[in-house]
């Protein structure tokens, strides 16, 4: 089994086919979308492929170390940034092909008008071994 992170970009990814921003959806469209996500996760729980999923708020802060004895430096929040991660799902599947298959299904979550979004999802494998550097 291999773990993959499915990233849902609210902004910053290529445009979806049904490219209507969620802040213009009706409450019913949002509820339908969220229920699709819950049903998808429940199905993967049944197959043992679901690990975790979370939606993320738009607000965030960048933080960095600024030296011994100094407080961390912060900058943000950056809700206006062009890139915004809306949420993520971690799956544990047999391989890359299955991860892509599931991402394709998740991309069909309904959006405006109840039609599938056809959004782009980023599929990232978990790093299982430290990278090897050769010269």
CATH number of residue 16's parent domain:
3.30.70.1060
In a domain, 25, yes or no: yes
49-90 tens-digit pLDDT:
999 999 888 777 778 888 999 988 887 655 555 567 889 999
Average pLDDT over residues 96-116: 94
Cα(102)–Cα(6) distance, integer angstroms: 9
Which range marks the domain in which residue 34 is found? 2-121
37-51 tens-digit pLDDT:
999 999 999 999 999
Q: Give the rounded percent of residues in the chain with a pLDDT score beyond 70.
A: 92
Contact 21, 29 (CB under 8 A): no
In a domain, 131, yes or no: no
In a domain, 48, yes or no: yes
Q: Please tell me the predicted confidence (pLDDT) of residue 83.
A: 65
How many beta carbons lie within 10 A of that of residue 74, not counting itself? 11
Spatial neighbors of 92 by CB under 8 A, at least 6 apart, are 1, 2, 3, 4, 48, 49, 50, 51
Whole-prediction pTM: 0.81
Q: Please tell me the predicted confidence (pLDDT) of residue 27.
A: 95
Q: Based on the structure, what is the number of domains in the chain?
A: 1
In a domain, 56, yes or no: yes
């Amino acid at each position: 089994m291999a773990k993959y992170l499915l990233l849902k970009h609210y902004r910053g990814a290529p445009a979806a086919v049904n490219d209507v921003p969620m802040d213009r959806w009706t409450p019913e469209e949002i509820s339908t979308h969220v229920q699709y996500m819950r049903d998808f996760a429940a199905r993967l729980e049944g197959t043992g492929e679901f690990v975790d999923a979370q939606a993320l708020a738009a607000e965030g802060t960048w933080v960095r170390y600024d030296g011994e004895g100094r407080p961390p430096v912060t900058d943000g929040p950056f809700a206006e940034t062009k890139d915004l991660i809306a949420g993520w799902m971690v799956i544990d599947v047999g391989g890359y092909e299955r991860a892509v298959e599931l991402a394709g299904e998740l991309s069909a979550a309904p959006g405006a008008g109840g039609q599938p979004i056809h959004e782009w999802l980023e599929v990232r494998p978990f790093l299982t071994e430290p990278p090897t550097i050769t010269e």
